[in-house]
Structure 1
Amino acid sequence: MRKRLALATAGAAATLLAALLTPAAGAAGTAGTSPRSPQEGSVTAAQLLAKVGGCSQISNGRYRTDEETTATVPVCGANGAVFWKADMDIDCDGQVTAQCNWDTDPWFQDDTAFHQSDGRPLNSETLPYVVVPSPSGTWDYRGAGIKGGGVVAVVYGGRVEYAVVGDTGPTAIIGEASYATAQALGIDPDPETGGAETGVTYILFKNSSVSPIESHAKAVSVGDALARQFLANN
């Protein structure tokens, strides 16, 4: 869940705690330095972006990208999908791993809204997933045919990364994905200092699902088929 900026302004005590828990430079290993993964699927970023140039707004209002920003991001509707264009903050919650834990992420939480097939929280370090805003009067993802395990095409820097809906965040903020999603797209995945300020497009395919949710290979195969269908229908 998005935590970084919201909690950083909570007061001097929170700031001091974050400073004490922040690892020394280089402690996160090679975070942010790993090469991008090969292009996933047969649909290009340019093809997808050409279909989401406009916005038929389906949300009752707009979202902020961070706690201190104004609300400028609408959720848009398309045939077979919903989408938004925002930033990317890093969700490192879920299973405790070398890169996602209480030492690397001062606001770490050891759970995710949706769980693996074995009942455990998702693994942010290895599984590409996207965070959706918790249901509110602004928008309820469930009413739009979006659910945990649903397929998402995340577009950034000329690349397409397929992910699943894996967690929920604040009701008023949008634009967040897992450590693994960021790393695959060449975005610094550090949960405290990483992310992308702008330029990320999230396309969520309605009534889709990946089972088991933790199978990224299944997300890619299902996502590529849905992306091709999306191009044909829009």
Structure 2
Amino acid sequence: MRSRTLTLAAVAGAALLATAALPATAAPSGARTPASAQEGSVSAASLLAKVTSCSQISSGKYKTDDETSATVPVCGKNGAVFWKADMDIDCDGQVTTQCNGDADPWFQDDTAFHQSDGKPLRAESLPYVVVPSTSSIWKYTSYGIKGGGVVAVIYNNKVEYAVVGDTGPTQIIGEASYATAKALGIDPDPETGGADSGVTYILFKNSQVSPIESHTAAVSLGDSLAQQFLQNN
């Protein structure tokens, strides 16, 4: 299920990394087979072992959808912030075959952060994550999180590297682009897809992919930052 996203208009060398395949696991009901093996060299289990407890940095907690209660805190770690939530599907940005006003009742043709050519991001092809817009609950920019920042998204024993690409409602958390969901084996349909729970988002502080639309650069930088995260926590 997807919550409506309200967008706000507003480094590493690109090197292909060898992927590390994980043992096969049963996919949750409704999930699709991930398009590729795990990205990078750091396993999902290794990252999840570092985020088993939460040192809350948000002033309050977030809802995962309009109709739910606020149960999700933003947590702090050395070099990162993280939360555990659901995944609603963001299809905003450039009009494409899968992301448009017909496919997505909440579609908006802009994203908070833009490509290097000034155009909105492409949710259909670029893995990105939505962060809550600044509110009394939490201000993401105060914690070194910025547009193009690297995010390790973990689901069903798989790691997908994404960038911070859009901003959403001030009281709701847990949303990522069509491409992020598809890569993780989650139904990417913006109206009926998503995951109800089980998604972990680890956002690396003071990181930025350049250009923001280069997923290869996000994987390269993400893998390096994930290794540092394991060493420092």
- Answering whether residue 114 of structure 2 is matched by residue 119 of structure 1, we say no
- Residue equivalent to 1:44: 43
The AA in structure 2 aligned to 1:227 is A
The AA in structure 2 aligned to 1:76 is C
Partners of 1:46 and 1:195 in 2: how far apart?
22
Map 1:154-169 onto structure 2 (within 5 A).
154-169=153-168
Deviation at 1:3, TM superposition (A): 0.8
Contact 1:151 1:209 in 2 (8 A): yes
TM-score scaled by structure 2?
0.87
Larger radius of gyration: 1
- Residue equivalent to 1:23: none
- Answering whether residue 80 of structure 2 is matched by residue 78 of structure 1, we say no
Deviation at 1:34, TM superposition (A): 6.1
Deviation at 1:39, TM superposition (A): 1.1
TM-score scaled by structure 1?
0.87
Instruction: Note the alpha carbon deviations across 1:52-89, whole angstroms, 9 max, x for none.
Output: 00000000010000000000000000000000000000
The alignment covers a number of residue pairs equal to 208
Contact 1:89 1:194 in 2 (8 A): yes
Partners of 2:198 and 2:173 in 1: how far apart?
13
Instruction: Note the alpha carbon deviations across 1:109-161, whole angstroms, 9 max, x for none.
Output: 00000000000000000000000000001000000000000000000000000
Contact 2:59 2:138 in 1 (8 A): yes
Partners of 1:43 and 1:33 in 2: how far apart?
22
Partners of 2:57 and 2:32 in 1: how far apart?
37
Unaligned stretches of 5+ residues in structure 2: 7-30
Unaligned stretches of 5+ residues in structure 1: 7-31
Per the alignment, in what secondary structure is the counterpart of residue 163 of structure 1?
A: strand
Partners of 1:33 and 1:87 in 2: how far apart?
16
The AA in structure 2 aligned to 1:209 is Q
Moved beyond 2 Å, runs of 4+:
32-36
The AA in structure 2 aligned to 1:105 is D
What's the Cα RMSD here? 1.4
The AA in structure 1 aligned to 2:86 is D
Map 1:207-218 onto structure 2 (within 5 A).
207-218=206-217
- Residue equivalent to 1:194: 193
Partners of 2:207 and 2:105 in 1: how far apart?
33
- Residue equivalent to 2:4: 3
Deviation at 1:38, TM superposition (A): 1.8
Aligned residues with identical type, % of pairs: 76
Instruction: Note the alpha carbon deviations across 1:170-210, whole angstroms, 9 max, x for none.
Output: 00000000000000000000000000000000000000000
From the two aligned structures, give the one with the greater helix fraction. 1
